[in-house]
């Protein structure tokens, strides 16, 4: 794993696409957590502060102690830490005037017929809010920055693809 930053309290690692943040049901599966536990056997607590989906690459915060883990998670819960995801969408988002930014607010819940996929459900879904900024449009694609204000499972994928969202699925 590429370590982008390290001090005595925490690490920032660059998680590659295709790797789990934490092991699934099989404990010995390759994951960021497993690799870091081997490299830092004296670290206490859960270490991984937040997760990225297996297919997603990006930076992960890793705490070296239980106390730091608790403090960082509190910052996520209180929205003190901001996340940004850059994605390529299959489709073109039409800009309105000079407006290159927007907000999607579509409540999400697990799809009971297709778990673990999520679906928009205005009656039973939990609040899910994503702000976005169009970076670049081409004839077929949009490069976009997503700023999730909530942290629902598959939130960005659903908000991008849903007809009431951007109506453009994420390619990568």
| pLDDT tens, N- to C-terminus, the chain (172 residues) | 999 999 999 999 999 999 999 987 776 789 999 999 999 999 988 899 998 888 889 999 999 999 999 999 999 888 898 899 999 999 999 777 667 899 999 999 999 999 889 999 999 999 999 999 999 999 999 999 999 999 898 999 999 999 999 999 999 8
- Distance, in Å, from the CA atom of 76 to the CA atom of 150, rounded to the nearest integer, reads 10
Query: What confidence score (pLDDT) does residue 18 get?
Result: 93
Least Cα distance to 126 among 144, 100, 105 occurs for: 105
Range 99-110 burial, b when 16+ CB lie within 10 A, else e: ebebebebbbbb
- Distance, in Å, from the CA atom of 4 to the CA atom of 158, rounded to the nearest integer, reads 30
- Distance, in Å, from the CA atom of 71 to the CA atom of 68, rounded to the nearest integer, reads 5
Least Cα distance to 83 among 127, 50, 36, 119 occurs for: 50
**Which residues, 6 or more positions from 78, have their beta carbon under 8 angstroms from its beta carbon?**
none
Query: Is residue 7 annotated as part of the catalytic site, yes or no?
Result: no
- Distance, in Å, from the CA atom of 151 to the CA atom of 127, rounded to the nearest integer, reads 9
Active-site option among 30, 53, 114, 121 = 53
Record the pTM. 0.83
Q: Which residues pair with 85 in a beta bridge?
A: 146
């Amino acid at each position: 794993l590429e370590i982008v930053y390290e001090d005595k309290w925490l690490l920032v690692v660059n998680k590659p696409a295709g790797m789990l943040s934490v092991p699934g049901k099989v404990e010995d599966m390759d994951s960021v957590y497993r690799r870091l536990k081997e490299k830092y056997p004296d670290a206490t607590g859960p270490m991984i502060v937040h997760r990225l989906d297996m297919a997603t690459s990006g930076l992960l915060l890793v705490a070296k102690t239980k106390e730091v883990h608790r403090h960082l998670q509190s910052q996520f819960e209180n929205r003190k830490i901001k996340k940004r995801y850059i994605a390529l969408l299959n489709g073109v988002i039409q800009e309105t005037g000079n407006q290159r930014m927007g907000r999607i607010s579509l409540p999400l819940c697990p799809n009971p017929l297709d778990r673990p996929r999520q679906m928009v459900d205005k009656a039973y879904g939990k609040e899910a809010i994503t702000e976005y900024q169009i970076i670049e449009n081409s004839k077929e694609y949009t490069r976009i920055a997503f700023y999730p204000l909530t942290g629902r499972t598959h939130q960005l994928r659903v908000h991008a693809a849903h007809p009431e969202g951007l109506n453009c699925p994420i390619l990568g």
